[in-house]
Amino acid sequence: MRTSPLRRRIAGLGLVAVALSGGVAGCASSNDDAGGGTGGGTYTIWDPYPQFDNGSAWVHLLDKCGSDAGVTIKRTGFDTTDLTNKALLAAQQGNAPDVLVVDNPVVSTFAEASVLVPDDEAKIDTSAIAANLLGAGQIGGKTYGIPIGANTLALYYNKAVLKSAGVDAASVKDWASLTAALAKVTAAGKKGITFSAIGTEEGSFQFLPWFWGAGAQPMRLDSPAGVSALSLWAGWLKKGYAPNSVINNTQTTSWQEFATGQYAFGENGTWQLANAKKAGFDYGIIPIPAVHGGTAPAPTGGEFVTVPVQKKTSRYATSERLVACLTSTDNLYTTDTTLSYIAPTAAVQAKQVAAAPDLKVWVDAVHAAKARTGDGLGTKYPKISQPLWTAVQAALSGSKSPQAALSAAQSTAATATR
């Protein structure tokens, strides 16, 4: 590894990392005590799951994979907001972990900074992985890491609210039928739809299914298709089909609104399934519809298991064994169930649906999903996402028309991505 170019590239990507993670750089832990080669020693793994302690199934899996590979695992769980910058700093200092589990939009940042070993060099087998999920780890013709699972967005609905308004959820197949359903619900005295439009990545994440579902592309934010998507949301607020609170809603507070039982629909993710089962009312889930029907592409969430660059390249063989263990069919099923993720392989998805048929709609949504950094965007994505969420805020607050808001966003994004 050539330290000086790496340091220059990491410094240049620092602001991108902050935009993606919202984190603050901190001191990295050293792996200097880790053994070299493939004959035992200690291997470090960093992940974004600090909620899992040493007694959790996740940590037991890490230890088992280490035992199977003949090494000891030294694991550290960081908040997602800290992990990106700490991993970049560790790479700059030459003491990156052996295995890094990282949020999928950040993979391109690490790859562009020469922090990660490409899969062909690390010998990571991704042949069973769904191509649309693998896209988040592809940049410059190379693939980096392997997804451990995915989540995405769909529409939860309250069965009682729809029934009282005479709406059949099966009739909601496109934007026109969804808007008609919202009109009936609000006319019946209930509330329509809630979502997150906050001025952060969460707002862009929730808007993208409508943006993509209109046929819009991130490199042209102010296209007629993009304007139609933002006009849809702005029109819902203007007509009272969605509350003004969406402007400040995170995905968590949006869920809390839906959980009151007053709303017909709530846009949210796989991670709310456990809360949905405790909501106290019957609910269902349908895909987010595209403008003229079909399932809109929603952005993928979830993490990639990656191998960072090491001074001792002989370590990669054991790192690959650890990655293969963590992403094996049996282990993916257990891990993705714990994380409320949809597995990245067809075999494990089938196993998930067999055990829980209500996951079928989520499997379908993941099949239609897209990587935010895909289509060659890579590290350009956060430079587009911020102007996009700014435009959403402006249009929903009424300070600008959807056309004016997206025209301004396009100008900002075009300058930032040159």
pLDDT(32) > 70? no
Helix 57-68, helix 329-339: angle, nearest 10: 160
Backbone CA torsion sign across 262, 265, 271, 273: positive
The dihedral over CA atoms of 71, 75, 80, 85, expressed in degrees to the nearest 10, equals: -80
pLDDT of 80 reads: 78
284, 202: one domain: yes
Structural tokens at position 346: 């067809």
127, 37: one domain: yes
Closest CA to 296 of 397, 400, 370: 370
Question: Following DSSP, what letter does each residue of 239-250 receive, concatenated?
Answer: HTSS-GGGGT--
165, 283: one domain: yes
The pLDDT-based confidence of 21 (bands split at 50, 70, 90) is very low
| pTM for the full predicted model | 0.87
How many independent structural domains does the chain possess?
A: 2
Taking the C-alpha atoms of residue 132 and residue 211, their distance in angstroms, rounded to an integer, is 18
Mean pLDDT of 395-413: 98
pLDDT of 325 reads: 97
162, 253: one domain: yes
The pLDDT-based confidence of 1 (bands split at 50, 70, 90) is very low
Q: Are 100 and 306 in contact (CB under 8 A)?
A: yes
pLDDT of 35 reads: 46
Name the residue range of residue 207's domain.
153-298+377-416
Taking the C-alpha atoms of residue 197 and residue 195, their distance in angstroms, rounded to an integer, is 7
176, 324: one domain: no
Mean pLDDT of 169-190: 98
211, 121: one domain: no
Largest CA distance in the chain: 70
Task: Indicate which CATH number applies to the domain containing 202.
Answer: 3.40.190.10
pLDDT of 39 reads: 59
Q: Are 380 and 213 in contact (CB under 8 A)?
A: no
206, 316: one domain: no
**Domain end call among 332, 348, 368:** 368
229, 356: one domain: no
DSSP state of 288: P
167, 183: one domain: yes
Structural tokens at position 235: 């029109």
Q: Are 235 and 258 in contact (CB under 8 A)?
A: no
Question: Following DSSP, what letter does each residue of 366-389 receive, concatenated?
Answer: HHH-B-TTTTTTGGGHHHHHHHHH
Paired residues of 328 in beta bridges: none
3-state SS, one letter per residue, for 146-210: EECCEECEEEEEEHHHHHHCCCCHHHCCCHHHHHHHHHHHHHCCCEEEECCCCCCHHHHHHHHHH
Q: Are 335 and 61 in contact (CB under 8 A)?
A: yes
Q: Are 264 and 183 in contact (CB under 8 A)?
A: no
**Domain end call among 333, 349, 368:** 368
Structural tokens at position 310: 């090491």
84, 11: one domain: yes
**Domain end call among 351, 368, 385:** 368
Summarize pLDDT for 114-141 with one digit per residue, the tens: 999 999 999 999 999 999 999 999 998 9
Share of the chain above pLDDT 70, in %: 90
| Distance set, CA 195 to CA 91, 160, 237, 268, 383 (Å) | 37, 19, 11, 7, 23
pLDDT of 29 reads: 35
273, 139: one domain: no
36, 89: one domain: yes
Mean pLDDT of 329-342: 92
